A and B are shown apart, each in its own frame.
Chain A
Amino acid sequence: MFKILKKEELSPNVYAMEIDAPRVAKKAEPGQFIVLRVNEEGERIPLTIANFDRETGRILIVFQVIGASTMELAALNEGDDILDFVGPLGRPSEIGKLDGTMVVVGGGIGVAPTFPIARAMKEAGNKVIAIMGAKTKDILIMEDEMKQVTDEIVVTTDDGSRGIKGFVTNAVQALVDRGEKIAQITAIGPVIMMKSVADATRNLGIKTVVSLNPIMVDGTGMCGGCRVTVGDETKFACVDGPEFDGHLVDFKGLMNRQRMYRDLEAEEKDHVCKIGLGRN
């Protein structure tokens, strides 16, 4: 059992939880993920690590309530336990000194997993700029935290309620236009956003890394449910990734696979709403 030490609602339906998982925290690196299971009937939910503290043994996760399983997770409170919490999984981000600026792009809750990457790249001696995108200013998350680990943050909102009106790709273009020498972009967020960033940087020749969170069961290479085409090869996001070269990822195939259980997810949400959380 893994205790929830802290819970915070960052924006409507978006929660941050600090989990007491010292063994995982000891080994976690930026870019890795965990798999959790709320209760005996629960799904295995993969979440990218938003922060880790080796001293206090805590792992921070940030998630949005989208289906029945995240609804059940959100219903837990400080002091409650999560049944299973496995990690760290996947390969860590490549961290090192770049020849130019490091840009992290986070869309929606995708901002959270860019945090440890930005911090590590900053500590490695890089100039780090964070682009943070949200639909509107009220759902922007972790702005203060991102400020602390970067040289500059650029906010974009779809409705223009904060920062640049538009998408994260507009902000990337603005950096390029002002002559910023970008060595690498790491983009994390909705698949469509990662695809847009990769499309925008392809012709600019900027190395673009994306972090994928496809459907998966075990997270250790066993099920192959998370397979994604990268270049000409089939890769498993859990053991070969979750980070891949954004210019090689087959985003169309990935978006298709994300839809696989959509109808069943609706049925499940309905079921959980009817019988109440906890399922039995």
Chain B
Amino acid sequence: MALSMKKHPMPVQDAKVRAHNFDEVALGYDEETAVAEAERCLHCKVPQCRKGCPVSVNIPEFIAKIKERDYDGAVAKIKESNSLPAVCGRVCPQENQCEKFCILGKKGESVGIGRLERFVADRALEKGEKVEKPEVAADAQSVAVIGSGPSGLACAGDLAKKGYKVTIFEALHKAGGVLSYGIPEFRLPKDRVVQKEIDNIKALGVKIELDSVAGRLYTVDELMNEEGFDAVFIGTGAGLPRFQNIPGESLNGVYSANEFLTRCNLMKAYKFPEYATPIKVGKRAAIIGGGNVAMDAARTALRLGAEHVSIVYRRSAAELPARAEEVEHAKEEGIDFQLLTNPVAIEDNGEGWVKSMRCIRMELGEPDASGRRRPVPIEGSEFDIDVDTVIVAIGTGPNPIIAHTTPGLETTKRGNIAADEETGATSKPGVFAGGDIVTGAATVILAMGAGRKAAAAIDDYLQKKKAQA
């Protein structure tokens, strides 16, 4: 049988239909497509794909299991290094990771590794995984995990499996962190995927305390000295929205992407007034930024009824940080891309609402510190775009609450928690950190990987502590 040079296409909802609903866009492979896609894997002697994976999932072996139609075996193989495969299969930027290194990609298209990961993970979730609750000794040591996002869930899951008592403290009324408040339903279904992953972590015996803002309710010191935790993991993420500091950002109609997405995803404002939280999206929306969050905000605005939605990004298409698939999906849905364009001011309609956004065209100059060519304004190229909603998606910074309330915890100049890359150890004994609070905004898989590394280091730390006692 001749080897197909192309990936089996991912079945998707029609672009015209999906632009008006919040159901998942990508529908997932069926069994026969998945097996046929798995057959494309050449099983290289020295598999390059693994090198591209931040947590080194054993990709060839899980694909081999799919060929054998041993899907449980495939999931088990992935779970050796990735605790959230149904999430990562959907949201990892595979084209910059595993699939980038796939040998097939040199002449044609790489194996659809992410799609295969999603296929087996979904199958396992639908079947209902049997999670075995680990034995916890009466005198087991306990760990507090702050934040229930990808790093916290991964860290908590691993520690519970090792027999520790684990409690997660979550500030919001729902667990999941960015998986719940940030990534939209149409890209990552909440009940079908996120909640099930969380339930699996709970089934391991992990306690999740919602509505608990660590730093306010308990400081890190209080968790260790008064509440009796033997170690603490901080996975509070990159939650603080950045603004551009251009005139007009306080006008009505201007949102941070965080607020816009939180209203929609966490508070379900798309079901207003059945749900009480309102959201405003006018006829014409502009989203500032070119990452996944910008794509999510743009496509959410469209689904909420905006007639014209633009992405305004200061570099060119090649530099768009979003996953290729999200950019493609956004274009199919009719999102307009204003590339090499930078906003300079948001104009008032005279009544305190957004009327338009003044932008300037950019060109690419010499590479900057990030290695990407620096965008430079073209003098005299200013122009206005008519908008009534502006969503700022230019990134987020670390939430300062924990750093402010934890003496002895060192932070970097940018306010991130300083932690060892391999172990997550911070300047404070017994306190570990990982995910976006350490690295700045990154990916689900990196945060999850950091949570797992920290879990191993915490295990090590607690064993030594016990031996000394």
Contact = CB atoms under 8 A, between A and B. Distances in A.
Interface of A: 23-24, 27, 37, 41-44, 68-69, 72, 83-89, 217-218, 220-225, 227-229, 234, 236, 239, 250, 253, 256-257, 259-261, 264-265, 267-268, 271-272, 279-280
Contacts of B267: 43-44, 217
19 contacts: A41-B268, A83-B173, A86-B212, A217-B263, A220-B171, A220-B213, A221-B239, A223-B241, A223-B259, A224-B240, A227-B249, A229-B250, A234-B243, A234-B249, A259-B252, A264-B273, A265-B278, A271-B273, A272-B273
A84 B253 CA distance: 28
B20 interface: no
The residue among B171, B216, B217, B272 with the most chain A CB atoms within 10 A of its own CB is: B216
A256 B171 contact: no
Given A24-B217, A224-B243, A256-B352, A218 B399 contact: no
A180 to B, nearest CB: 36
B273 A43 contact: no
A113 B253 CA distance: 30
Contacts of B277: 43-44, 217
B223 to A, nearest CB: 13
A41 B181 CA distance: 15
Chain B, interface residues (CB within 8 Å), range: 35 or more
B274 interface: yes
B278 A264 contact: yes
Interface of B: 171-173, 181, 210-213, 216-218, 239-241, 243, 245, 249-253, 255-256, 258-259, 262-263, 267-268, 272-278, 280, 352, 399-401
B191 to A, nearest CB: 13
Contacts of B274: 41, 271, 279-280
B140 to A, nearest CB: 24
A239 B400 contact: yes
A130 to B, nearest CB: 28
Contacts of B249: 227, 234
B248 to A, nearest CB: 11
B356 to A, nearest CB: 17
B173 A260 contact: no
Contacts, number: 124
Contacts of A220: 171-172, 213, 239, 399, 401
Given A24-B217, A239-B400, A224 B256 contact: yes
Contacts of B352: 256, 259
Given A83-B173, A257-B250, A222 B243 contact: no
B113 to A, nearest CB: 33
A37 B259 contact: no
Contacts of B216: 27, 87-89
A183 B235 CA distance: 43
B280 A260 contact: yes
Nearest to B251: A256
A221 B401 contact: yes
Contact of A268 (B218, B255, B262, B273): B273
Contact of A256 (B211, B252, B258, B400): B252
Nearest to A264: B278
B452 to A, nearest CB: 25
Nearest to A67: B276
A141 B240 CA distance: 37
B252 A69 contact: no
B273 A267 contact: yes
Contact of B213 (A43, A86, A256): A86
A265 B307 CA distance: 23
A86 B243 contact: no
B273 A223 contact: no
B276 A218 contact: no
A223 B263 CA distance: 9
B252 A86 contact: no
Contacts of A253: 250
B239 to A, nearest CB: 4
Contacts of B400: 221, 239
A218 B245 contact: no
A226 B324 CA distance: 34
Given A224-B259, A257-B250, A41 B276 contact: yes
A236 B256 CA distance: 12
Contact of B280 (A44, A228, A261): A261
Contacts of A256: 250-252, 352
B272 A264 contact: yes
A228 B274 CA distance: 30
B126 to A, nearest CB: 25
Given A223-B256, A224-B256, A218 B250 contact: no
B217 A27 contact: yes
Nearest to A23: B217
Contacts of A85: 211
A15 B304 CA distance: 36
The residue among B239, B262, B275, B276 with the most chain A CB atoms within 10 A of its own CB is: B276
A280 B273 CA distance: 11
A267 B262 CA distance: 21
A264 B280 contact: yes
Nearest to B250: A253
Contacts of A218: 171-172, 262
Contacts of A261: 278, 280
